[in-house]
Amino acid sequence: MAIGVFDSGVGGLTVHRALVRRFPNADFVYLADQANAPIGGRSGEQIVDLTRACCERLFAEGCDLVVLACNTASAIALRRLQQTWLPGYRRDLGRPVNVLGIIVPTIEAATGLPWEHEPERRGEKVEQLDVLGVFSTPATATSRVYEIEIDKRRQDVAVFSEPCPNLAPMIESGAGHDEMRAEVARHVAALAGRIGRQPDRAILGCTHYEIIADLFREALPPGTPLIHQPDATADAIETYLERHLEYAAGTAGVRRFLTTGEPGLQNGLVATFWGAPLRFEAV
């Protein structure tokens, strides 16, 4: 059985790479929903429907566990699918399957606290000294998931989100570096303008952005720590698999890359990130 990794496009490869490094012998099926990308500007209903369809496809391809390597799907669709769809689907399928997201591990990494941590006592004056910037799709920013969940756990951390509607499409289409550098700089400046200063730390809260992490490092003040979502996710999946032996990750080192869009080689930006040309098959 394999681990399924889902994203609207090539962004989830950043998480996939960390997972493959962590589990070199496991079998993986990556699915990019490029026919419907980008999803970050879509309605909640559409995001839920598209995410569910891709999970079904990955289960049909033999995966037991699907990792939503997409902040937008994790923020908007995951809880809905876990509550309203997965229990019945699992029963009908007759085998254990599950869907996990990437926001919980990212928040654990950002707060330094386990997800189940008891919220701190409220009602006292707190100095918010640690300012965390989150760059994400519009849907993730509108959900306020990072603001809400971090505030529950760490009232000394102030979270500010910056929606970047053009960045994922630019990365999907392999836009030039100068064009993307200007776009990233514009968003970093816009966020700093809203906060009144630069953030102390940042989350690249759309998996596509990790592909151009260097441009964020360049635009943010030197040394600004970036919380590394791919590694945080790999840590969480490792712990999950240790505790859930019913999900076998395979041992043949299979790597399949599927797309609902145009099959073939992904753009040069992806090849540079990946370290080799990367070909996707049609589903």
Footprint on residues 127-166 left by ligand DGL (CB under 6 A): 137, 140
For residues 131 and 199, is the Cβ–Cβ distance under 8 A? yes
The candidate with the shortest Cα–Cα distance to 23, out of 39, 3, 37, 6, is 3
Stretch that binds ligand DGL, among 35-43, 243-251, 253-261, 266-274 (CB under 6 A): 35-43
- Residue 39 binding ligand DGL, by CB under 6 A: yes
Footprint on residues 220-249 left by ligand DGL (CB under 6 A): none
Stretch that binds ligand DGL, among 32-40, 188-196, 212-220, 275-283 (CB under 6 A): 32-40
Size of the residue set binding ligand DGL (CB under 6 A): 17
Residues 92 and 178: their CA atoms lie apart, in Å, by: 50
Beta-bridge mates of residue 136: 163
- Residue 34 binding ligand DGL, by CB under 6 A: no
Tokens of 177: 């570096």
Footprint on residues 171-210 left by ligand DGL (CB under 6 A): 206-208
Nearest distance, CB of residue 123 and ligand DGL, angstroms: 34
- Residue 72 binding ligand DGL, by CB under 6 A: yes
Cβ neighbours of 181 (radius 10 Å):
15
Cα R_g (the chain), whole angstroms: 18
Tokens of 210: 């990790």
Tokens of 69: 């390597």
Residues 244 and 100: their CA atoms lie apart, in Å, by: 13
- Residue 8 binding ligand DGL, by CB under 6 A: yes
Nearest distance, CB of residue 18 and ligand DGL, angstroms: 14
Beta strands 279-282; 264-265: pairing state: antiparallel
Q: Which residue has the tokens 């026919």?
A: 35
Set 54, 55, 70, 164: catalytic member: 70
- Residue 266 binding ligand DGL, by CB under 6 A: no
Q: Is the omega angle on the peptide bond into residue 38 within 30 degrees of 0, that is, cis?
A: yes
Q: Considering the complex, state which of residue 68 and residue 132 has its C-beta at the smaller distance from ligand DGL.
A: 68
Known catalytic residue: 63? no
Stretch that binds ligand DGL, among 69-77, 111-119, 214-222, 273-281 (CB under 6 A): 69-77
Q: Where are the beta strands (DSSP E) in the chain?
A: 2-7, 28-32, 63-68, 98-100, 130-136, 157-163, 201-204, 226-227, 255-259, 264-265, 279-282
Residue closest to ligand DGL when measured from CB atoms:
40
Q: Which residues bind ligand DGL (CB under 6 A)?
A: 7-9, 11, 37-40, 70-72, 137, 140, 168, 206-208
Tell me the catalytic residues.
70, 206
